[in-house]
Structure 1
Amino acid sequence: MAAGGSGEDRLIARLFEPIARHPGALGLKDDAAFLQLPAGHHLVLTKDALVAGVHFFPDDPPASIARKAMRVNLSDLAAKGAEPLGVMLAFAIPPDMDDAALAEFARGIGEDCLLFGAPLLGGDTVRTPGPFTVSITALGSVPIGRMVRRTTARPGQAIVVTGTIGDGALGLALRLDPDRPGFAALDAAGRAYLADRYLHPRPRVGLASTVRAHARAAMDVSDGLVGDLEKMLAASGVGGEIDAGKVPLSPAARAAIQAEPALLATALTGGDDYEILATMGEGDVDAFEAAAIAAGIGASVIGRTAVGAGLVVRGADGAALRFASTSFSHF
């Protein structure tokens, strides 16, 4: 994302140089950036790509697309216990994206760079005949040896999740079929809340140090609570059980599910939560919950890990729930 004399260079100079405030970005006038790691820290890197028609709607506001691209990556850092250092941005512009849309996209990137302390360091800009595509690499740091992995859960630990689950997936379902019985039961504020949770993930960056201090394994919930927990348990070589009744729900999600119980499966498996899913010893639960409450987020114990393999999800009657699919998958 180096500036010069071409049309691409002028676009970068006009829209992105003003938000690339970190000295290591070199004003986006070079072919690379530099970054000084804090002493005694490891670099943590993560990358997600978003494609119109797959991860967001083509008619979503450009600033919202930018925020989603930023936040899904920052969510991964938070779940590793990493503090943001910066981001690298690449995007492919389709023919129908005009200057005003690009300016709004750049505004969304810039505002989230400031909000989350993750400055723009560089990237790339290209044209495409296909859909608008955005890819962000997020860089963070953790004290050496303190990154929280998904492979380190052990039997007998509490399974904890932050915030509320299902809002993003229900927001997507609302967008696709607003006349479903569950959504007809919601007032305008409830509908707006679910729609916003889908458009604008809320990465739990402020809990990074809490994750480092108390979690023994962690990941963010992006593809669905049940499926992502299955992945973490399998990677750690343990089993587990959760109680669906203990999964935290927002008032809007709870009202929709009460009106249409089939939406519970959507909430548990649909994804787009971007909450932190962690395992920890019983002695860490109170401190983790207290820190999450102090941050205005909250956290809930939903089950326990166990010797063995696989995940059991219990319903209100104690029977194991079955799902057609436990998470979103591209393949």
Structure 2
Amino acid sequence: MRKTTGEAWEAGRPVHRVVVFVRPGLLPMELGIVHRLFGTAEDDDGRPLYSVLTCASAPGEVSTDTDFSVNVPHGPEALESADTVVVPAAVEDYGPQERGRLAGPVRAALGRVPATARLASICTGSFVLAAAGVLEGRRATTHWKSCAELASLYPEVDVDPDVLYTDDRGVLTSAGVAAGIDLCLHMIRDDHGAEVANTVARRTVVPPHREGGQAQYIDRPIRQVDDSSTAAARTYALQRIGEPLTLEELARQAAMSVRTLNRRFRQETGVTPMQWLGRQRLDYARRLLERSDEPVDRIAARSGFGTGTAMRQHFREVLGVSPRAYRNTFRGTA
């Protein structure tokens, strides 16, 4: 759970301040994503967990890529008290001349961000983080159409074109617009646990969790695929998440061969069936740790890991903490 600066207060308590830094040619949907998701995150008493502000290099009217503009009340000074800064895409990201013209003011504005703040970008907002130097030596992504350009302009950045979002030591990037939703939910989940993130997702009517490693929907040559889907296999697996499941069993549910099931899973989710199942089990175990006082061994059995030892290993590999430490963080219990 991330600490707050204490600069933002709600009902007499500090809340995490999210500042959205916008630029001319803003994509309005990306601004709305941040306000909607962080703005609806609440604690058990219905109190907001985040304060969300919008700022620009100078306060006032900011153009968008549509037929309306946005009135931004805050200048770059708002960044000085940010716990998280989110940079959405803008039209100038797509033109080298426009990027160069705005690079100076943008770098100056981001220079105000506290060293402890989390930085995130949506879509081609990653170009701003790269220009500011914060992506150097880090793994990052952007919209698949712009990945090659990002890698060419900033060779010091480890650009991954095949993922929805990245999270590398407090600096996060996401692919296209919809991946911004996944990124914001990922940050909320890291801050306050799976249950809070899932509630936000339900209110917004979006999937609660798409892993960052899922493949972008990249335009590829048209290919023939059969009419079947992995949906039946996934539903079957989720209904039996605590049971040992095999590839052959899942393939039978999908009425496919194992080879076809593997191929279709990769096409639809970017991972193998067993990788997907492992992620669902991890997410289910996280919710049980947050909601219940059940022993780790019992949760391991219910979520399909089999033993507490196996679940502890999985938690450390994926989350970097033990199940007990995870529970202590989000429930404050031993």
Greater relative contact order structure (CA < 8 Å, 6+ sep) = 1
What TM-score do the two structures reach when normalised by structure 2? 0.27
Greater share of helix = 2
What TM-score do the two structures reach when normalised by structure 1? 0.27
